[in-house]
Amino acid sequence: MRKYAFLLPVVCLLMVLFARPAAAQDERKVFIDVHLGVAAMAEDAYSRSVTTPLYNETATFGAAYAFDRGAHFDFGGGYMFTPVLGFGVNFSGDAFNGIPVLSARVPSPVFFNTFATDTKLGDTEVQRTEGSFNPQLVVNATPGSENLRVRVFGGPSFFQVKQDVVNDILYTQSYGIFVRTNSITITNYEAKRAEGNGIGFHVGADVAYFFAPVFGVGGYVKYAHGTAELEDPAGKYDVTTGGASFGGGIHFRF
């Protein structure tokens, strides 16, 4: 037995870490959360158009954006001032992809008021990413529970948005010189990266179960909303940021 005596301090340490009474659990004031999930944009579709002089008339070019559900990640932590009330900060990131629908209305260079139109689904995807910094008030709804923790949280959100926007629509044109004909075919598009910042709010809730005093797993749901300003060839415009996200992750408390 003596040759195993060196294990005694290790066993004692494990007993302290994983078998503390409930009263000691309440002393764990620092928390850290890491989540992965799915996000849906608050505004997942919108369109933009621009007019430009061409052949002494006006041509119109447009792009309609529609984004699928994307991946969500957040990381945060905070401090519980009481068993019920605390404050934290959270950093979130979302990534979305979509294919724009392109449209064009172009006049004839020969005959007045003879327009050609075409609509085409883009050949390549555009991407939109949203990052946010979220200070939050945290309320623990289960202060007396040793293993189960239910929290609600909310506060302001500061957004940064980056999106590929259609910068130019490429097309070929055929027209008659002696007859009134005019046709175009959209061939492709060029995009540029637009960036903007905005402010809004977020609210949410999470549920975690702690298998050990310092470690647990759980799920969350969150909704955020705000606006940010982007710019494309048609000028500056506001987009709605945020949306609903849900998923799960790991939770720590110290």
Q: What is the pLDDT of residues 198-221, one digit of tens each?
A: 999 999 999 999 999 999 999 999
Residue 22: φ, ψ to 5°: -60, -35
Q: Give the residue with greater pLDDT, 154 vs 20.
A: 154
| C-alpha to C-alpha distance for 102 and 121, rounded to whole angstroms | 6
User: What's the pLDDT band for 68 if we cut at 50, 70, 90?
Assistant: very high
Looking at the predicted structure, is the pLDDT value of residue 3 above 70?
no
Look up the domain containing 138 and give its range: 30-253
The verdict on residue 25 lying in a domain is no
Stretch 40-54: mean pLDDT = 95
Q: What is the pLDDT of residues 138-168, one digit of tens each?
A: 999 999 898 999 999 999 999 999 999 999 9
Query: Which amino acid appears at position 158 of this protein?
Result: F
The verdict on residue 1 lying in a domain is no
The verdict on residue 122 lying in a domain is yes
**So what's the pLDDT on residue 28?**
84
| Bridge partner list, 232 | 235
The verdict on residue 152 lying in a domain is yes
The pTM assigned to this predicted structure is: 0.83
Stretch 167-180: mean pLDDT = 95
Q: What is the pLDDT of residues 126-136, one digit of tens each?
A: 999 999 999 99
Strands 235-253 and 30-41: antiparallel
Domain count, the chain: 1
Stretch 61-78: mean pLDDT = 96
Give the three-class secondary structure for 134.
Answer: strand
Looking at the predicted structure, is the pLDDT value of residue 26 above 60?
no
CATH number of the CATH domain containing 121: 2.40.160.20
Mean pLDDT taken over the chain: 90
Looking at the predicted structure, is the pLDDT value of residue 99 above 70?
yes
- Cβ–Cβ under 8 Å, residues 160 and 194: no
**So what's the pLDDT on residue 24?**
43
The verdict on residue 172 lying in a domain is yes
| C-alpha to C-alpha distance for 21 and 11, rounded to whole angstroms | 17
The verdict on residue 7 lying in a domain is no
Instruction: Provide the total of helices (H) and of strands (E) in the chain, helices listed first.
Output: 2, 12
